[in-house]
Structure 1
Amino acid sequence: MLLNRRGALAGAGGLMTALATGEAWAQDARRVRKAASSLSSADDDILAFAEGVKLMKRRSDALSWEAQNRLHAQRAEHGNWRFLPWHRLQVAHMERIIAQLTGHANFAMPYWDWQVDRFLPPWVLDPTSPLYERQRDPATETLDFQKARFAQSRDVARVSDDNFDAFCGRERAAGRVEAYGHNIIHMLVGGLMGSTRTAALDPVFWLHHCNVDRVWATWHQKNGDRAYPRPWKDVSMSGFTGPDGRQTGRWVASRITSTRGLGYRYDALYAPLVFALPPGALGGPPVSAREVSVRVDADATDGSVRLDLPAEVVRLLREAPGRVTVEGTGVVAYERSENLTGRAIATSVFAEKGRVDLGVSPTFVHFGGGEGDEHAGHADYAHVFTFDSAVAQLAKLTTGPLAIVSTAQDLRPEEQRPPVRAVSLEATLTVTEYAA
């Protein structure tokens, strides 16, 4: 497919003069990213995607398919608050590379919303298409992603009420959008997608990350620029290749919080999960609120770590005459090693008889170490989890101590690998009591 290639090439040269600031991209908002389920193999964006993959696989320069995978394998940000802006930039650059190579000037990467579209798009399952990947797990071709393992987790994404720490992560800990929904799909698709070293070689990678970016766009629309802390806004990234094969300079996170700043938009944003309480459920007005921070450093090597909630907090949850709510965030960390791959970190609040699950996050461990590696820190592998009022309900219905327990479950038990080492577990909870 060669649509107006000469015009596209001519425009690219002038465009590159302002790429380092991103201003030229902001003026070019013609790209509309559409749902994969709304597109057939004959649609322009799918034709361009397939043609672009075929052309890139024939190359060996900076515009090659392998070069994009190498960039992700060596420099991609995982396990920290750079995850969302870094991957937004890589997908945006890929769009423009494909547009230049195919002459499809307005090419926009489709997104695959696996929570709505239960199966992979048929055009990535056609063995005659460049979008087919032979090393993909064969079971994926018929997998119902809505019924797959971990897919029913209530912690996949909460775009309605997550704050920055919970959603985007911290400087050295993955947020929930990465740790749950993102990691789950990498694990379920398997094959090349199962490792940061090879994930970008599967075309499904780009469809998946396009939807992850769409989730961020939805969260941003609700919260706006005020939601981002200044240290995050000042984060910068580089190493991306433009459509002329040259690097596009340094990008500051504060300049790319809006998709229009990179010249694209979505046909529809992500459907937020809204949990509504019936009228009067909260009872009277709040009479007190208490914030408690607790932490434990682990020296165990059995793949788990335990943090007991303070006795006075447990007593308040059980004995308060009015309604009590719990909210807050925690971070669990494990030693980063090859042995951590192929596991799922399950975190719960346990009582003597009962528990509340706080989430299960399949690991997607990045080791990086390539030329120009700028990672915020790859010492420990950590992610954020959150609390809600189910913890208060558990306290009311049980006796004895309450404890947060995190365990790195092995998804490949047949290999009989040794346990991984837990590093730390911390939590900050706000307990609010309402009048009876």
Structure 2
Amino acid sequence: MKNRTVEINEVPRLDKWIVLSIQHLFAMFGATILVPMLVGLSPAVALVSSGLGTLAYLLVTRGQIPAYLGSSFAFIMPIIAAMTIGGPEGAMIGSFFAGLVYGVVALIIKATGIHWLMALLPPIVVGPVIMVIGLGLAGVAIDMAMNDADGFYNGTYFSVALITLFITIIASIFFKGFFGLIPILIGIVGGYFVAYFQGLVDFTPVREANWIQAPDFIVPFVTYSPAFSWEIIAIMVPIALVTLSEHIGDQMVLSKVVKRNFIKKPGLHRSIFGDGIATVISSFIGGPPNTTYGENIGVVALTRVFSVFVIGGAATIAIIFGFVGKVSALITTIPTPVMGGVSILLFGIIASNGLRMLIDNNVDIGKKRNLIISSVILVVGIGGAIIQVTDAIEVAGMALATVIGILLNFILPGREKVKDTDAMFDVNKERERNEEAI
């Protein structure tokens, strides 16, 4: 017997509300704290920024889209590059301007519609770019899994990473129900215990932390004076094109799951603007850029709990967790090889999702046009190609691959027409007729 559907604006009973919200929190937890740990930002701040960003998103979308926002993997390498130039503060400046891009795109969509954006970012461009995100991070995952703090091979580290990876895979394949939704978290916990018995865990930060403790916020004009940098903007802003395409894909999946055309109502412009607001909020407090999370969309699809109040509950709990000092300190004690072990799987999944986008959209790589576009994007992005604009400005890696992919898509003959979203959501018309009848 199927579970009863909990509708978008339905408020569950309090005990169920809390449990369902915690389930969403666990679904996003592992990936959301992993991003700041990889780039050197505060996981506690990331929890607070994801919660605040999600609440802002729900407000902007008028409480009509059940989506949770967490730390974006697409910005990992750009943040690392930006931090080498301007430190964490520089990365926040880049994140702020990336968020502004969302706002500009949202305004343009509001005025002109979505046809041009769908033409700008078709699957043949977006799929390979997503693959670049995952494969470009492969070296980071292996380095964390295999090497110690000095960069030398460490057999103990690698064994812990492989055991962590194995636990995560077992949880993903064999665990069902609630535990099947949190394989990354299970992998981290299992790997943590293994690392503890290998002497790799130091509980000193947990003992010294207070129960209630403000995260290490990075606030402009309070903790630092913002400094404009064209180089950082050139590194981070183009990545918004990648996350925009991911966002569109998430909205399409959610629309199919909930049987409502969110691209038309409340509108793609509102959901994109919500993403932008969440990223801007994050940049004001020192968190990584936010984006809608596929993990939480999976929870929505599996449980058929569409309530935005459940999503809002998860966001509120995430904010509270960010101010619990013991929890924040415990997160910082997770050894590097444990995070490296889960990263091997996560980054590989990202790359595989790019391949899945090509398959789901019936992109024929046998066509020379598609083969050329995908091949160039992959080599330019993974190879780390750079265009030096000035001594201070360069367009590199993923950003350059995205730009080149867009240009090739427009230049090469045989470009396919953009599909009308109405064709994607025929079921939505039936639902709207039923609602009108009621």
Q: Which structure has the highest helix share of the two?
A: 2
TM-score (norm 2): 0.26
Between structure 1 and structure 2, the one with the greater Rg is 1
TM-score under structure 1 length normalisation: 0.26
